[in-house]
Structure 1
Amino acid sequence: MDKWIALVRTKLRELKLTQEKLAERVGASQGGVGHWLNKRRQPDLPTMNKVLHALGLEHLEVALVIRERNAAANDADIDDCTYDITSAFRYPVSDWAMAGQVNERMLAGYETGTVFEVSDHYAKGAAFWLQVTGDAMTSPVGASVPQGMMILVDPDIEPEPGKMVIARTPESAEATFRQLSEESGQLYLKPLNPTYPKILFDERCSIIGVVVQATTKF
């Protein structure tokens, strides 16, 4: 996706085209084109190819390439994809009770019926998807991750204040989705919805992973 965006931006500058003109050519709204180019939304493959065609790049084609995660880990050219390829990696969908129990043994052989979703994020560890429930991370302003969105959790990313995380707390049998924050040297699990209380992060709590992506599931 990043390389497609870079190519489109470059061609817009070369052709001295505005996003509005590109939107007219592909039958989309200017706002929609802006969302694509700023990674707020991802167009489907036919739309991505339609954009390339509108920019005179008919010789290129965006193709979805799904690699097994373990095989991709040994691929020395993982970051060497050409513009006509969008790389995607599949990760299992977990539930809130089992979050964090996806491990390397499971990666070697998933049970029949395991559901997967794809992402362009490459995780070296046992990443997994969760579907957001409740409205604790729904904010009236700024960043918001409402109920129904799919979030990708990467356990191998270092949790830092400001990042969205999946954590376990003694107050709940299920995993908790919050923003890690620091106040006066103390860590808290902070909801984006101001009507929910923040949770003190102490030695009884643990971080399962960092949320690296959120997408809407229809």
Structure 2
Amino acid sequence: MDKWIELVKAKMSELNVTQVELGERVGMSQGGIGHWLNKRREPGIKEMNRVLQALGMDFLEVAMVIREPQPSADDEVPLTHKYNPYFRYPVSDWRAPCEARESEATPYAKTREAQRFELTDYHAGGAAFWLRVTGDSMTAPKGLSVPEGMLILVDPAVEAVPGKLVVAQWPDSPEAIFRKLDEEGGQRYLMPLNPTWPKALFTDDCRIIGVVVQATVRF
């Protein structure tokens, strides 16, 4: 809610739009807009999206809590992170999530012409990208579940340790896979969240492409 208010106020200032004008654009009173921007009342997702649309911005996404810890209030936060809370990352493909990032000078060069981007408030440490979940290997009957159709944000800069959700690929496989990195008896495994799927032994020739730090779905 705080980030939405910060974003709306910043955009209103940029466009020189008053609360009265914004209210007219979304079909409500200046007082109603003021209640939202001063946190006296909390708008729903539909109302928040109406305001963003009236200001020429994209719709919000609902995000699951699969996030890497962000700096606390006591930590020094970069200005770019504080005042530009939304970042955009490209949507990649399971067949080439790495190859699309071969060159640092021209990131995502192979798919740049038709590249699609998605927004998030996560500030990646590496060349992060989105993948759309396919299949039901990570659909769990209870607890954490990442079903087909969700977008997952992959950050190659995050350390892959047991307990993390990761995207990995074997050299002889045409596609990467999405699994939970786990450890049993000193041996690491790539575990599906769906118990009907088999686990896979994590070997030295299997490469971790990145750690999944966020999962989102659009409404």
Which residue in 1 is equivalent to 2:120?
119
Secondary structure of 1:87 counterpart = coil
Give the C-alpha shift of residue 92 in structure 1: 0.7
Alignment of 1:201-212 (within 5 A): 201-212=202-213
The code of the aligned residue for 1:133 comes to T
TM-score normalised by the chain length of structure 2: 0.63
Which residue in 2 is equivalent to 1:89?
87
The code of the aligned residue for 1:199 comes to A
Secondary structure of 2:160 counterpart = coil
The count of aligned residue pairs is 161
Residues 89 and 118 of structure 1 are in contact (CA less than 8 Å); yes or no, is this contact kept in structure 2?
yes
Residues 138 and 145 of structure 2 are in contact (CA less than 8 Å); yes or no, is this contact kept in structure 1?
yes
Residues 94 and 176 of structure 2 are in contact (CA less than 8 Å); yes or no, is this contact kept in structure 1?
yes
The code of the aligned residue for 2:117 comes to F
Secondary structure of 2:180 counterpart = strand
Instruction: Please tell me the root mean square deviation across aligned C-alpha atoms, in Å.
Output: 3.2
134 and 50 in structure 1: CA distance in 2 versus 1, 3 angstrom threshold = farther
What is the percentage of aligned positions where both structures have the same residue?
Answer: 49
Give the C-alpha shift of residue 99 in structure 1: 1.1
Alignment of 1:52-201 (within 5 A): 52=37, 55=40, 76-81=78-83, 87-103=85-101, 104-107=104-107, 111-169=112-170, 172-201=173-202
2:216, 2:35 → 1: CA distance?
22
Higher RCO, 1 vs 2 (CA within 8 Å, ≥6 residues apart):
2
The code of the aligned residue for 1:78 comes to T
Give the C-alpha shift of residue 165 in structure 1: 0.1
Give the C-alpha shift of residue 203 in structure 1: 1.1
TM-score normalised by the chain length of structure 1: 0.64
Alignment of 1:11-30 (within 5 A): none
What stretches of structure 2 of length at least 5 have no aligned partner? 7-32, 43-50, 59-76
Secondary structure of 2:107 counterpart = helix
1:129, 1:202 → 2: CA distance?
25
What stretches of structure 1 of length at least 5 have no aligned partner? 8-47, 66-74
CA offset digits 1:165-188 (Å, max 9, x no partner): 000025632000000000011000
